[in-house]
Amino acid sequence: MIERLQTLEDRYDKLNELLSDPEVISDTKKLREYSKEQSDLSDTVRFYQEYKSVTSQIDETKEMLEDETDEEMKEMAKEELSELTSRKEELEEELRVLMLPKDPNDSKNVILEVRGAAGGDEAALFAGDLYRMYTRYAEGKGWKTEVIDSTASEVGGYKEITFMIKGEGAFSRFKYESGAHRVQRVPETESGGRIHTSTATVVCLPEAEDVEVDIHEKDIRVDTFASSGPGGQSVNTTMSAVRLTHEPTGIIASCQDGKSQIKNKEKAMQILRARIYDKYEREAQEEYDESRKSAVGTGDRSERIRTYNFPQTRVTDHRIGLTLQKLDQVLQGNLDQIIEPLLMEEQAKKLEEIGQ
């Protein structure tokens, strides 16, 4: 591991040189590529440099202990050695985690698709709750949210809503949200006060750039239509809504939220690109089943991942058996108390695999 870390530090130093090279500065693509690589390495290099410093201090303290005759100085040196040794162990653990294989999509923006599933109107209301939960979480991180497409429900909430969250590392936090979310509560529309169970599904896609997905214009069919609101009624008379169909894969993306057909087409293309990228990634991952062993859950989007129980103010994540009596906090966007344990579980599984 130390040899690998030294190689990474050397590469980091080289990137610093490259980023001040006029030729690189004038090349936007190279500048972006090297800047991202440097950013990805920065934490690892910082911890490794501290590790080297602590290791050097340990050696110096041990030498001092061998030569020192003053008992009081010896005690101070022993105390310092104990603290340094403890810090070295902490750094080794940090570095082991930092050296784990990284998801290349982690630093990207994320596109979320939330749909009401089983439960009719109540499922649509719950989809709205999830949308608000995610936007509040993003807001707390200083990330921006942009609605790409939505179909509102007549009773409130959404039959479906697609939105992008823009921020460094957004996908790394939201990727654990893909799957079926279940809610247990008394619906607002229920006069008998009986608890109903409804579900909404969430799909999280990393934003894909042009260079990552090769889409030919000739392979895309473009259809335009009038935007519709709750119940399907037309909300404007212009043909501003756009539906794109990628004929080789049959993947469809649409957008009707904007008044401009051009902007709607741009947003629909963002969704289409992300869905095609996701399809190819999932196919590659299925071919190499071993890569799925380290994932939290099966990755199946029909998998029930979480239950939100209102009568007991309880949230349960079924993948890791985590239960919190903090439903209000979670719905207000305090998701780190769920995401952090999921992240730690995945890291633990990867470390176990490497150990094996």
CATH code for the domain in which residue 323 is found: 3.30.70.1660
DSSP label of 185: E
> Does 120 lie in the same domain as 63?
no
> Does 134 lie in the same domain as 78?
no
Q: Compute the mean pLDDT over every residue in the chain, rounded to the nearest whole number.
A: 85
Tokens representing 26?
Answer: 């004038």
The set of residues, in sequence order, having a beta carbon less than 8 Å from that of 156 and lying 6+ positions away, is: 124, 125, 128
Q: What's the angle, vertex CA 181, arms to CA 107 and CA 324, rounded to 5?
A: 85
Under-50 pLDDT residues of the chain: 231-235, 288-295, 298-299
Residue 181: Cβ-neighbour burial (10 angstroms; 0-12, 13-18, 19+): buried
pLDDT in tens, 129-173: 999 999 999 999 999 998 988 888 888 889 999 999 999 889 999
User: What pLDDT does 71 receive?
Assistant: 85
Q: How far is CA 165 from the centre of its chain?
A: 10
DSSP label of 234: B
Nearest to 323, CA basis, from 304, 334, 309 = 309
Report field, pTM of the whole predicted structure over 0.85: no
Tokens representing 244?
Answer: 């794109």
User: What pLDDT does 200 receive?
Assistant: 93
- Please say which residue of 71, 98, 125 terminates a domain: 98
| SS3 of 116-148 | ECCCCHHHHHHHHHHHHHHHHHHHHHCCEEEEE
> Does 154 lie in the same domain as 35?
no
Rounded to 10 deg, the angle between the 28-67 and 2-18 helix axes is: 130
**Within-domain flag for 353:** no
User: What pLDDT does 161 receive?
Assistant: 92
Phi, psi (5° rounding) for residue 202? Answer: -125, 135
The set of residues, in sequence order, having a beta carbon less than 8 Å from that of 205 and lying 6+ positions away, is: 110, 111, 112, 113, 274, 275, 277, 278
- Please say which residue of 98, 131, 166 terminates a domain: 98
| Number of structural domains found in the chain | 2
User: What pLDDT does 301 receive?
Assistant: 52
> Does 65 lie in the same domain as 127?
no
Terminal C-alpha separation, the chain: 16
Nearest to 313, CA basis, from 329, 331, 325, 330 = 325
Residue 14 vs residues 11, 34, 42: alpha-carbon distances, Å: 5, 10, 13
Contact 305/203 with Cβ under 8 angstroms?
A: no
- Please say which residue of 70, 98, 126 terminates a domain: 98
> Does 178 lie in the same domain as 70?
no
Distance between CA atoms of residues 219 and 331, nearest Å: 41
Residue 40 vs residues 122, 196, 279, 293: alpha-carbon distances, Å: 42, 46, 26, 24
> Does 285 lie in the same domain as 217?
yes
Distance between CA atoms of residues 70 and 66, nearest Å: 11
Contact 111/170 with Cβ under 8 angstroms?
A: no
Residue holding tokens 């009707």?
Answer: 256
> Does 143 lie in the same domain as 204?
yes
Tokens representing 3?
Answer: 């040899």
Q: How far is CA 195 from the centre of its chain?
A: 32
Range of the domain at 47: 2-98
